Amino acid sequence: MICTTDAIVLKTMKYRESSMIATLLTRDYGKLSVIAKGIRNRPKGGGSVLEPMNYVRVVLYRKPGRELQLMTQCEQLRNFKGLSEDLKRMSVGMAAVELTNLAMGPDEPHREVFDLIVDTLKALNSATGDPENALYYVEIQMLGLLGFRPELRRCVMCEGPLPSSSGAERIQVSLGAHGAVCPSCEDRGHGEMSIPLPALNALAAFQDTPQAEASFRIVLSAGMRTIIESVLRRLVMHHLTGMRPLQSQQVFSVLT
């Protein structure tokens, strides 16, 4: 069946003399691997249209269940030039597509995850604040969309209120139960990760933010960033199958 769909390129590799194999997150069919035969020989950039983070429209000759689908056409829908011009934005964008690639299974269409990644790359392309906010945003939103939304506004065990900032300095988070735990439930042995209350509130702010663009308005100290990164990493690694530490983050943290 010949079909046309929009996609974000997650990963690519050269294949033989002139072809490429790419992993795409498509709007209509979920994550797919495609082969683009002879694409590197084509004029006008050829294979450069198939680069990670590119937003493209593809024509596929699609057979359900086939491991590698045949891509016959590919055009760029939007050029995220701002991503390739800034190392930090690029690092966050690459981490976001790598996260998506690891979190999504093949052939499972998920329109909201597709919209999330497109929105995040668009916002990053013209980021006005610290680009890393977009990664915190995409991580916590992805957890929610895939069924692991952490409860951060009330106790995940008893649904009671959490202490206010004047009442406690740290709060327990339960990985298994997906959320924050009040002091009484903590006394009963729930929760396995203790975090400062302001970090919990910042995470809740990223969760409540409706669009990636708005995440740049959340102001964080360097210390708070370190805490939020490690909490999110633990939540993501705990819940999303196939997850491992993001390579692009490690590569770029050496470079930047």
Classify burial at 204, counting beta carbons within 10 Å of its beta carbon; exposed 0-12, middle 13-18, buried 19 or more. middle
- Size of interface with Zn ion, in residues (CB under 5 A): 6
User: Residue 231's CB: how many other CB atoms inside 10 A?
Assistant: 22
160 touches Zn ion (CB under 5 A): yes
Q: How far apart are CA 83 and CA 126, in angstroms?
A: 8
- Closer to Zn ion at the Cβ: 113 or 162? 162
Segment contacting Zn ion by CB under 5 A, of 83-91, 121-129, 150-158, 210-218: 150-158
State the binding string over 166-205 for Zn ion (x if CB under 5 A, else -): ----------------x--x--------------------
155 touches Zn ion (CB under 5 A): yes
Q: How far is the CB of 146 from Zn ion (least distance, A)?
A: 25
156 touches Zn ion (CB under 5 A): no
One-letter amino acid for residue 157 of the chain: M
Residue 217, helix vs strand vs coil? coil
157 touches Zn ion (CB under 5 A): yes
Segment contacting Zn ion by CB under 5 A, of 14-22, 31-39, 154-162, 248-256: 154-162
Q: How far apart are CA 243 and CA 237, in angstroms?
A: 6
Q: How far is the CB of 79 from Zn ion (least distance, A)?
A: 49
Contact criterion met (CB below 8 Å) for 162 and 155: yes
According to DSSP, the β-strands at 69-78 and 30-36 are: parallel
One of 2, 68, 87, 158 touching Zn ion (CB under 5 A): 158
User: Residue 102's CB: how many other CB atoms inside 10 A?
Assistant: 17
Contact criterion met (CB below 8 Å) for 173 and 191: yes
Q: How far is the CB of 173 from Zn ion (least distance, A)?
A: 12
Summarize as ranges the residues that interact with Zn ion (CB under 5 A): 155, 157-158, 160, 182, 185
